Amino acid sequence: MKLKFFPFPFPFPLFLFVSTIFTLSLTSSAPISTLSPTQNISDGQFIISDDEFFKMGFFTPSNGSKNRYLGIWYNKISVFTVVWVANRETPLNDTSGVLTFNQEGTLTLIDRRNRVIWSSNSSLINNPVANPVAQLLDTGNLVIRTENSFEPDDYLWQSFDYPGNTFLPSMKYGIDFAKGLNKYLVSWKSFDDPSIGEYTNRFDPNGFPQILMRRGSEVEYNSGPWNGLRFSGMPNLKPNNIYTFGFVFNEKELYYKYELVSNSVISRMILSTEGKIQRFIWNERTREWGLYLTGQMDNCDRYGLCGPYGICNINNSPACGCLSGFEPRVPQEWRQADWSNGCVRKTELSCEGGDGFAKLSGVKVPDTRKGWFNVSMSLDECRNECLRNCSCTAYATLDIRQGSGCLIWFDDLVDIRSYVEESGQDIFVRMAASELVDRKAKTKRRVIVILIPVVVSVTVLLGIILVVYRKRKQNKNNGRVVVVRDNNAVNENKNEDLELPLFDFNTIAVATNNFSDDSKLGEGGFGPVYKGILEDGKEIAVKRHSRKSKQGLDEFQNEVKCIAKLQHRNLVKLLGCCIEEEERMLIYEYMPNKSLNSFIFGEGKRKSADWSTRYTIIVGIARGLLYLHQDSRLRIIHRDLKASNILLDKDMNPRISDFGLAKILEGSDAKANTRRVMGTYGYMAPEYTIDGIYSTKSDVFSFGVLVLEIVSGKKNRGFRHANHDLNLLGHAWRLYKSGKQLELIDGTIKDLYVPSEVIRSIHIGLLCVQKYPEDRPDMTLVVLMLGSQIPLPTPKQPGFYTERRRPQEGESSSGNHEWSSSNQLSVTHLQPR
């Protein structure tokens, strides 16, 4: 913006004098949210929204800068966070700036020399109005309106029409065709420089609209088109308890918008200086912004990475491949990992009849800028429309909710990536008839082609195992650690090498003093655990599988399979294994503080278990489970989460251990079932105990039990109370219903705790142990609830909410109990540990 001289009918010193008289009221009275034409704002004065949530005034972005900007920021949080800047490109170099508001309804920022630094220019956009006011709304929107008009459609001007790098709730992000406004994000130049940066993020209305993030003029990221549920390239954009969202596209406007479910949540989206679309949520407990969602997940989100007719799959190496029926345009470039020229058809289309379509499932659909759409067509009509046009290369459903609408491509298909099917959608790619016939024939041949190498591989594998076994028998090598590649059935589903260190039996025997009782740490259903010290002084924990254990080779291999490649600060680290004759041992890093079981239930250590440590443990377990359920390369259900399987490192950080019963859910599976129900009484979810159905929600139930045990210092199984015969879950539920949650807390903690934190933890624990899995939150929401002050839903009655019948006189207390609630159970195939 060029600087302009602002005409005044009187000298500037006189203006300052008059301005000072008017602005005295701003400093001598309560905060105001509106400006009238008789009021101005000088540096050091502010406008504050009615709910005092947002503040507007002058600021300097960093201590090293002398630039002053007029902006809006959050007023109630401890980290200074700017959401809008008026004079991004024309900063003031001192504190002489004044924001004026005239009778025509225009806001103007001037400097000490009467130069116009910034203006809303609203008097040029609208006809002259009577009684204009400028107001900072509770949404963070600065608006100019007439005194008695409060409808958004009647605003003369609003800052939401000119966003900077921040997308706030209630903002319409997109294009107003009627007013000719394009509302988009522009990144800051740097963290402390709000001037125009390299990146823009805006709707492109060509073809079917999509949001394109550009660096300069080059597209770097494409959201994909709206498919009725979300943008095709944003699978993480799902219904949640934090915010609602929607998309509007008609002849008047095109926009995306979100609203927060609760006013207690503070959330914003930004375009970062590095070109990342990020959603943050304020965490009042830690007093920092937590990253909740990122638009770009991985390298496959780079626009057009694999070129025309290429498809990106982040789980493949290399990530880029050609669509079926296509081949690299320049094979030499592909061998050098340059995929930009993409792929070409193996067989050209004839367009004289006979062309068909190959279905591609679970993908982000291609760039739609050169596409065509019709909202009323059916999928069959869409197919016929595509066949009638020789330029049509593919078609898809516009709205995946009902399978309605038609989206057609007339150019090369660019920017396709693969997702799991539940996150992607289907597209039908036009193919030559001969190519479709070849596909069917290849499918039959593929079965034979697969079987032959499998048989050969198994034969070779058995030979390798035999050679390794004989070599190790001849080579019992004085405690040396041998690293081998484990190609056995431990990872048969993925056909990958584990590269797991293989420890020699003698090494472990020496480290544990020949498995002496003095080295023994404890014992579980699998067998004993020993502490060991290797020759280099490294402390280890050795899990030795007993021959009498009900866990056999399957469980041993399962544990290796689940944890060998997992890395997280809240999971125990597997160092290696030992397999020799009938001996099977797992070697873990040693946890000096042993298990959570001894920490919260052991009388000696329990007194040192203050509330801060307990809360840190709860949060750590939640983060570890979230990693297993969602963030790791596998989706793992632990199935045996309990206090004795939570180990504590030297800093009291929790580490989830014992993956012998863990299960991996393949692909998009949300749950599975088994006839062999194994676990621990008191921690198993009702649907798993009764029907053998397990899912991430059954782990959530176990986590909820753990939370209540950590808070109370009491075990769920075997819990006794003088006034009733409820279990721990029932007792916690009873206290919650009567508003006496703090009575649940462990008496050894005394008064050294934060009451609101304890009550919130109990509330979250009860949400996790609700009877029906669909009522329980997932671990993403649990972690968010633990780390923020978002409102919590009301929990329903826990599963296994039971009251035991007390034994009558002469009746053995160890006899069978009858259940007095309606939750009568008939447990079959149950193998408790």
CA–CA separation, 145 and 571 (whole Å): 57
Q: Which two tokens stand for residue 174?
A: 């997109």
Strands 677-679 and 663-665 turn out to be: unpaired
Phi, psi of 633 (to 5 degrees): -70, -15
Which class for 610: exposed (0-12), middle (13-18), buried (19 or more C-beta within 10 A)? middle
The angle at the Cα of 721, spanning 728 to 646, to the nearest 5 degrees, equals 35
Cis amide bond preceding 318, omega within 30: yes
CA–CA separation, 216 and 239 (whole Å): 33
Q: Taking the CA of residue 616 as centre, how many other CA atoms within 13 Å lie in the half-sphere pointing to its CB?
A: 13
Q: Taking the CA of residue 85 as centre, how many other CA atoms within 13 Å lie in the half-sphere pointing to its CB?
A: 27
CA–CA separation, 89 and 645 (whole Å): 57
802 neighbors 823 (Cβ within 8 angstroms) = yes
220 neighbors 302 (Cβ within 8 angstroms) = yes
Supply the DSSP symbol for 573.
P
Q: Which two tokens stand for residue 248?
A: 């509007």
CA–CA separation, 238 and 231 (whole Å): 10
Element (H, E) at 157: strand 157-158
707 neighbors 769 (Cβ within 8 angstroms) = no
CA–CA separation, 530 and 391 (whole Å): 70
Return the amino acid letter for 139.
T
Provide the β-strand partners of residue 585: 544, 578
CA–CA separation, 398 and 382 (whole Å): 10
Supply the DSSP symbol for 53.
-
38 SS3 class: coil
Contacts of 2 (CB under 8 A, 6+ apart): none
Q: Which two tokens stand for residue 488?
A: 């056995």
Neighbours of 274 (CB within 10 A): 11
- Which residues are designated catalytic? 640
Q: How far is CA 733 from CA 132, 516, 726, 774, 789, in A?
A: 56, 45, 10, 19, 21
CA–CA separation, 132 and 718 (whole Å): 71
CA–CA separation, 73 and 620 (whole Å): 32
Q: Taking the CA of residue 807 as centre, how many other CA atoms within 13 Å lie in the half-sphere pointing to its CB?
A: 8
CA–CA separation, 516 and 508 (whole Å): 12
Which residue blocks in 379-419 are alpha helix, DSSP H?
379-388
Which residue blocks in 277-329 are alpha helix, DSSP H?
none
Alpha-carbon Rg for the chain, nearest whole angstrom, is 33
624 SS3 class: helix
470 SS3 class: helix
CA–CA separation, 507 and 668 (whole Å): 42
DSSP 128-178: --SSEEEEE-TTS-EEEEETT---GGG-SEEGGGS--SEE-TT--EEEETT
- How many residues can be counted in the chain? 833
Return the amino acid letter for 199.
Y
By C-alpha distance, which of 120, 117, 121, 147 is closest to 132?
Answer: 147
